[in-house]
Structure 1
Amino acid sequence: MSSSSSDENDEIEERLDDIIEDFIDEIYDAIVEAEPIPQRTRSYTERHREGGQHQLSNDYFNDDHSIYSIQTFRRRFRMNKGLFIRIVDGLEQFFPFFQQRKDATGRWGSYCTTKMYGSNSSIAYGNSADTVDEYLRLGESTALSCLHHFTDGIIQLFGDEYLRLPTTEDLQRLLDMGEKRGFPGMVGSIDCMHWEWKNCPTAWKGQYARGHGKPTIVLEPVASQDLWIWHAFFGLPGTLNDLNVLDRSPLFDDLLEGRAPRVRYMVNNHMYKLAYYLTYGIYPKWSTFIQTITFPQSPKQQLFAQVQESVRKDVKRDFGVLQARFAIVKNPGFRGSDPFMIHAIPALCVAASQAASTEHESGVRDLTSRRGSVICLILKDQFVASIPGRPAHPWENVDLDSGWRETCTFPEQNQSAFNIQIISYVN
């Protein structure tokens, strides 16, 4: 009797437990279903982008009634207005992202000039993506998209035209330029530069950093005196030196495969058939590289070393102009992931070559030579000096026989070829 009664008590307790659990579950489900689920809505800011587009048009693109002059445009955009319009037309014609289209609500999107200005602001000044929001009413995500599409578009549109090996006509022009400077057969100078990569992944820092230095990525360019970048090999880790980069570079592929243009020039009554680059001492002793004399003894050797070390700095000067023109390359805090840098640096080289080409065709020889308080513009027909706080005036109005003339120390060949004189102003 006692065993049967205990079994019945156990069954009753189990049934009570089940009933209580079911009751609790029903109450819990009723409470949860009664609570409203918050709707996650996407935040939207009405920027009135039409007002920003209208203001940009009135400031720079209103034909002869623009508020700011062409010179102001060149200084702020770091390129001529004609080049800017050419890039805008190309991007708008071949890339749907830069075309003005209607959104889902039927509202027209931003103009191509607005998107181009947004990407140019980040490239030229190294600004953050939301800097142009107050002026152009362009959001941060849109500005970043403009920047990425701009770098891809520049390479696809103009990479074959401006980032290429010299043609036969280009090669002859480079040879004539080198002969005037005292180096017949020279087609440019080559060097490597390291770009700091702030956002390098921690796992890759050992591959991209030398010793205890910061991670860098190597750029190997070939540049000429007219600031044209003929070759840009970018993307190798910073632990490699110039020789390691040269071993991986496609610079001499055309020469090895027999597709390079033929060259003939005479030096010391000897005919040569290979053009050469001016380099530093780390490069190998090849016939295509001309280094300086390390310890010159005779006056002839000293003159050669002095001139070679001066002319080979064309590529260094190109580095400086590239950084001065596009501040994004010297601002390690802005540069993002590795894929963006791989596309951005060649795109900037293309843009720099474009700017150099248009300025060369328009007659501007050099916009970067500064000395003292005078900004020198070296033109085809005349020299123009701009002194802060005073109106610009040509050189012929300046008394060159007075005590504030300083002649540059270039070799005689260079000075006679370009007639460059640097003027320093003294109060």
Structure 2
Amino acid sequence: MLNRNREEGHEHLYHDYFADNCVYEAKDFKRRFRLNRDVFLRIVNALESRYGFFQLGYDARGRRGFTTLQKCVAAVRLMAMGESPDTMDDYMRMSERIARESLYTLSRGVVETFGDVYLRKPSLHDLQELYAAHEERHGFPGMIGSIDCTHWKWKNCPVAWKGQYASGHHGSPSLLPIFDDLLNGKAPDAPFTVNGNEYKYGYYLTDGIYPQYSTFVKAFRHPVEERDKFFKRRQEGARKDVERAFRVLKAKWHIVEHAARPLDLETLRYIMYACIIMHNMVVEDKRAKYCTLYPNGAQTHSVSTGNSGLFASRC
């Protein structure tokens, strides 16, 4: 049996990033793991207190297992860099199996622990603020947001499912995160008023491939009149926000940029949601520090999206 000396791996990790006089500074930790050390330790403490997998244990021979820091650092590093679990062996002294289990367990734990706060559905107050923000920025009253697709290549898709999870313009199977309410054409019950007329539900901006729902507002495919051309330009310009959001998410968490390796959809769903939740935690941490430095220059309120979703083969 290979003796990896996991104790030495923990000592190197602790002295590199978590000791009082650690080798690497906080900015180095943030650059390599995509989140601040305080946010990371908050996740570590929450998972350690809730899940036995992240608690330190001993095997039948009395050997100490991997520590909480080792498992959480390995999982976050895999999400941040999109590397293979086998790359955790040389530095973390961790086998591919343990690294993979750490990734899957951390993803599920983050969703179950922080999902109610950072992946919640917007409240009525949140929607009113969204209405005001989008009307001020884009000129669309009653607009909740924009919808667009991002494909996540599925490397290990089962052979029997490849036809179901492949589309014409993608040569290999891929996944799309779609929320249940949007898939059913539902919108939150948040009224707004335009030109003296009150409407009960808000709407989303979409492109032409989505269904003909009353809550979806599409651009004109072939505008002729000048006002239709003007609306098309504004609608397409507003929809750039969601495209930029996907690029930011993929740039921060490379596991979403690279081909997905898990075999089951449930694990893929948790990984995607965990990336979104940790991204929201990073944004909240940045806003809190910004408001501390500039009390009159920022809003402390943040809005999260709904967390009821599934993966589908195409839009």
- The aligned residue for residue 218 of structure 1 is 176
- 2:158·2:263 contact (CA, 8 Å) conserved in 1? no
- 2:156·2:261 contact (CA, 8 Å) conserved in 1? yes
- 1:199·1:336 contact (CA, 8 Å) conserved in 2? yes
AA aligned opposite 2:174: T
- The aligned residue for residue 337 of structure 1 is 263
- 1:328·1:335 contact (CA, 8 Å) conserved in 2? no
Instruction: Give the CA deviation at 1:170.
Output: 2.1
Deviation string, structure 1 residues 214-257 (Cα, Å, up to 9, x no partner): 2222222xxxxxxxxxxx46xxxxxxxxxxx96xx3562xx5xx
TM-score normalized by the length of structure 2: 0.82
Deviation string, structure 1 residues 189-216 (Cα, Å, up to 9, x no partner): 1123332222222222222223583222
Identify the structure with bigger relative contact order (alpha carbons < 8 Å, sequence gap 6+). 2
- 2:80·2:252 contact (CA, 8 Å) conserved in 1? yes
Distance 2:37 2:184 in 1: 34
Q: SS of the residue aligned with 1:219? A: strand
Q: SS of the residue aligned with 1:193? A: coil
AA aligned opposite 2:191: V
- 1:167·1:261 contact (CA, 8 Å) conserved in 2? no
- The aligned residue for residue 161 of structure 1 is 117
* Alpha-carbon spacing, 1:360–1:299, altered in 2? closer, same or farther (3 Å): farther
Of 260, 264, 281, the residue aligned with 2:208 is 281
* Alpha-carbon spacing, 1:319–1:215, altered in 2? closer, same or farther (3 Å): same
Bigger Rg over Cα: 1
* Alpha-carbon spacing, 1:150–1:250, altered in 2? closer, same or farther (3 Å): farther
Instruction: Give the CA deviation at 1:270.
Output: 2.9
Distance 2:290 2:146 in 1: 23
Deviation string, structure 1 residues 339-388 (Cα, Å, up to 9, x no partner): 43233223323233333333333339xxxxxxxxxxxxxxx969xxxxxx
Distance 1:109 1:119 in 2: 16
- The aligned residue for residue 47 of structure 1 is 4
RMSD value over aligned CA atoms? 2.7
* Alpha-carbon spacing, 1:171–1:160, altered in 2? closer, same or farther (3 Å): same
AA aligned opposite 1:291: K
Q: SS of the residue aligned with 1:187? A: strand
Deviation string, structure 1 residues 10-42 (Cα, Å, up to 9, x no partner): xxxxxxxxxxxxxxxxxxxxxxxxxxxxxxxxx
Q: SS of the residue aligned with 1:335? A: coil
TM-score normalized by the length of structure 1: 0.62
Query: 5+ residue gaps in structure 1?
Result: 1-42, 221-231, 234-244, 365-379, 383-427
Distance 2:55 2:129 in 1: 38
- 1:209·1:216 contact (CA, 8 Å) conserved in 2? yes
Q: Give the percent of matched residue pairs that are identical in Structure 1 and Structure 2.
A: 41
Paired residues, what number? 291
AA aligned opposite 1:336: P
* Alpha-carbon spacing, 1:300–1:347, altered in 2? closer, same or farther (3 Å): same
* Alpha-carbon spacing, 1:152–1:250, altered in 2? closer, same or farther (3 Å): farther
* Alpha-carbon spacing, 1:66–1:106, altered in 2? closer, same or farther (3 Å): same
Q: SS of the residue aligned with 1:262? A: strand
- The aligned residue for residue 285 of structure 2 is 358
Deviation string, structure 1 residues 89-128 (Cα, Å, up to 9, x no partner): 1110100000112332333322212111111121111111
Alignment of 1:109-188 (within 5 A): 109-181=65-137, 182-188=139-145
- 2:185·2:215 contact (CA, 8 Å) conserved in 1? no
Query: 5+ residue gaps in structure 2?
Result: 299-315
Asked whether 1:290 is paired with 2:247, we answer no
Distance 1:251 1:129 in 2: 39
Instruction: Give the CA deviation at 1:296.
Output: 4.2
- 2:56·2:65 contact (CA, 8 Å) conserved in 1? yes
Distance 1:107 1:200 in 2: 37
Asked whether 1:62 is paired with 2:19, we answer yes
